[in-house]
Structure 1
Amino acid sequence: MTFKTSSLNSLPLLAGLLAGGLTQAQTAPAVAPPASRPSSLGWQACQAIKGNDAGQLACYQQWAQSQLPANTPPASITTAPADPATGQPETPILLLPALNTDAPDGKPIGCRNTQYSELSRFWELQRGTDCDTFSIRGYRPISLALALTNGSNTPQVDEAVRNAGFKPQTLKNAETKIQLSVRTKVAKGLLKSGDADESDQDSLWFGYTQQSYWQLFTPGESRPFRTTDHEPEVIYIYPHQVALPGGWQYRLSGLGLVHQSNGQSNLLSRSWNRVYLMGALEKTLGPESSLRVQGRVWDRLRESSGNDDNPGIENFIGRAELNATWQINKANTLGVTLRHSLHSQARGSTRIDWLMAPAASPTYTGLRYHVQLFSGYGDSLLDYNRRRNVLSLGLSLVDW
């Protein structure tokens, strides 16, 4: 018969037995554990040993060791000092190893392990930050916000529709902005891997972002979604650990392929494809504070003039992007994103983000108050050639 149980549920019992029987175990003669292996029979086999405290203790020790993950440091013994006020003598205490787990089955917490840097956890750059493939993770913030703008492009209609009595929509400058963004790692260790937790590990990701502007405050127009942009992408991440001056570290290089479209046809259609190169570096400022800088440069994949829904879009949205993020502490993050057309007629955009955790839960959830200020071109595909200023106030979920 085989007995199975959760290793973590048994650790409190093990700690109590070891603390209580440690002194006796130091003086009693060593007794071999039962012939049956406790690692296969479970702790019940040790519990069945009666009248032999030292043998039972040895059995528990052998079983506990078999349950620990690989490379777990051994338990250690310390002594609690005597307390003359209460007459409490010195007491031996067993210090069990700290298991970095988020589940009772003892699996490593990987991408949530705070002993690694922000970038390492976000892109799972090292073996110790691995959360395995095909698990859903956050990408860009998942947001619901009130957006106040200085105007937007009005959807165009052809002459036949206008002659049929179509009236242009009456749009408001106050909209609701909704963003969904997720990703999953589809492969790992393709070109770079190792056995140690600190070993670098490359990876291949698929991400999807959807952003909508909803005319919630126009009941007379049936509250339409003014525009929705879809952005699937494939990203390859190659990790580095290159020390740079000033305490900075170059952490990753990347290659991406992205399609962006508003899912419309004819005059309303907006879409383009691009390939990009990226790189990122970071600097640790303290246990809960860091700086991160990420750059991307891209090239549009050419289309024939007859299929180009938005000619010259790269001259408006830009050809390069630089993002700098200051993790002030666990509760506050400040970010600045700059885009530039790299053209004689300089265009692009500036975006500033401030994310603040609720005071009641700054650490244990991904919920953030989110304030965003955008100025420039490309806040949405429909408005790619119109300069807009947008102030967004709302809530976001960051990577969970």
Structure 2
Amino acid sequence: MSLITSSRISFIYCLSVLLLLVSFTSSANENVDEHLNEDHKFQKDIDRCIIETVKKADKKTILSEIESQCEKSIMVEVLVSDNEELQSEDVELGALANRIIKERRTAFDPYVITPHKMNYILPVHITNQINSAAYEGHSNWAENLTNTEAKFQISLKVPLASNSIFVEGDQIFFGFTLQSWWQLYSDDISKPFRETNYQPEFFYMAPINFHPFGGNSGIIFGFEHQSNGRSLTLSRSWNRIYAHYLYEKRNFALSFKPWYRIKEETKSDIYDEGDDNPDILDYMGHFELSMVYKLYNTYEFSFKGRENFATHNGYAEIGVTFPLWGKLKGYAQFSTGYGESMIDYNYNQNRFGIGIALTDLL
């Protein structure tokens, strides 16, 4: 199958996912009034708090301050619910909880897109050695790929329920993340998109009554598919179910995400349907550990790491966002190891990129 046909497959796959997102957004738009009028305990408690606080507040107090204060107060009540030994004054909301509060305000606003993971553009993304071997036999890519390219990530999520499902404060989402590596500086091969990864997922998120060191905890269960939409020897994909523990304290957040890969049938030849990368766990490992720290509400430092202790193959990524001007932030990223992209899952390299962050993690 030619690279042109493969590109069409990638385009059709991406288009189908985007159409699914449009359908979710349209559905939310059509039913926004219904969602706002539902008997949602979280929102009702906030409204009650606002009314009571306004009656007692000084006339100089701004309404937005009262709303923010009430949202945080009700969120604390959710975190300490069903825990008689824990008092509200013992719980301090961190940066992650404050992000969730902000997202709840606009969850069903048809004019707002909610970010999931980071959104960024790195016009300069350099590797010590490009994975040219993966493209041998496919046109003239292998000998013309450059070690400098552009990289960007677009990630968003859509809430699928307006009310709590099992416990107060829980939610279920559809998320979609797209990463692309663009050979922007390879004039000899017309600057193609070398690799694009598509990652749709469904996940359930809920707070839990576990507050080590005075912080807050949450749990996520999900299913995700990740692939590059290519065919034959360039095809890479896998499906995972995962559990995800979240912890926050003030401006620090930590996550531990173990997963189980859903097995696929072994391929008899390259034209057969089946497992494109049966050894992917040898390089991607069985878990991911992430940490984020926000300094002075201006700088954000992040770390992400994976490891397979049996094969000693792993991956580490360090990122930092910093102010440029206005709301615009710069972003620098360094990574080392296996699996920065699907096509590079078994390829060890070092990478550095710099550009602009459209959204932070916290």
Task: Give TM-score, length-normalised by structure 1.
Answer: 0.65
Q: Secondary structure at the match of 1:263?
A: coil
Measured after TM superposition, the shift of residue 203 of structure 1 is 0.2
Q: Distance in 1 between matches of 2:320 and 2:231?
A: 36
Quick check: 2:107–2:114 contact (8 Å CA) kept in 1?
no
Aligned residue runs from structure 1 range 188-267, under 5 A: 188-193=163-168, 201-245=169-213, 247-249=214-216, 251-267=217-233
Code of the aligned partner of 2:149 = E
Aligned to 1:278: 244
Aligned to 2:322: 356
More displaced, 138-147 or 256-265?
Answer: 138-147
Gapped regions of structure 1 (runs ≥ 5): 1-67, 78-93, 194-200, 285-289
Return the structure number with greater relative CO, CA threshold 8 A, min gap 6: 2
Measured after TM superposition, the shift of residue 74 of structure 1 is 3.3
Aligned to 1:305: 266
Aligned to 1:98: 62
Measured after TM superposition, the shift of residue 317 of structure 1 is 1.4
Match status 1:148 vs 2:112: no
Q: Secondary structure at the match of 1:314?
A: helix
Quick check: 1:186–1:205 contact (8 Å CA) kept in 2?
yes
Aligned to 2:288: 321
Cα pair distance change 1:279/1:214, threshold 3 Å: same
**Which of 154, 157, 160 is matched with 1:186 structurally?**
160
Measured after TM superposition, the shift of residue 297 of structure 1 is 0.1
Aligned to 2:82: none
Measured after TM superposition, the shift of residue 124 of structure 1 is 4.6
Measured after TM superposition, the shift of residue 123 of structure 1 is 3.8
Q: Distance in 1 between matches of 2:346 and 2:70?
A: 45
Q: Secondary structure at the match of 1:345?
A: coil
Code of the aligned partner of 1:74 = V
Structure ranking higher in helix proportion: 2
Aligned residue runs from structure 1 range 115-130, under 5 A: 116-124=93-101, 129-130=104-105
Code of the aligned partner of 1:136 = I
Task: Give TM-score, length-normalised by structure 2.
Answer: 0.71
Quick check: 1:182–1:207 contact (8 Å CA) kept in 2?
yes
Identity %: 27
Measured after TM superposition, the shift of residue 107 of structure 1 is 11
**Which of 64, 71, 94 is matched with 2:49 structurally?**
71
Q: Distance in 2 between matches of 1:348 and 1:370?
A: 23
Q: Distance in 1 between matches of 2:71 and 2:158?
A: 15
Q: Secondary structure at the match of 2:160?
A: strand
Aligned length: 286
**Which of 261, 277, 294 is matched with 2:255 structurally?**
294
Cα pair distance change 1:173/1:110, threshold 3 Å: farther
Aligned to 1:138: 115
Max radius of gyration: which structure? 1
Q: Secondary structure at the match of 2:188?
A: helix
Aligned residue runs from structure 1 range 46-61, under 5 A: none
Q: Distance in 1 between matches of 2:94 and 2:64?
A: 15
**Which of 325, 330, 335 is matched with 1:374 structurally?**
335
Measured after TM superposition, the shift of residue 219 of structure 1 is 1.2
Q: Distance in 1 between matches of 2:159 and 2:107?
A: 7
Q: Deviations over 1:38-80 (max 9, x none)?
A: xxxxxxxxxxxxxxxxxxxxxxxxxxxxxx9532213458xxx
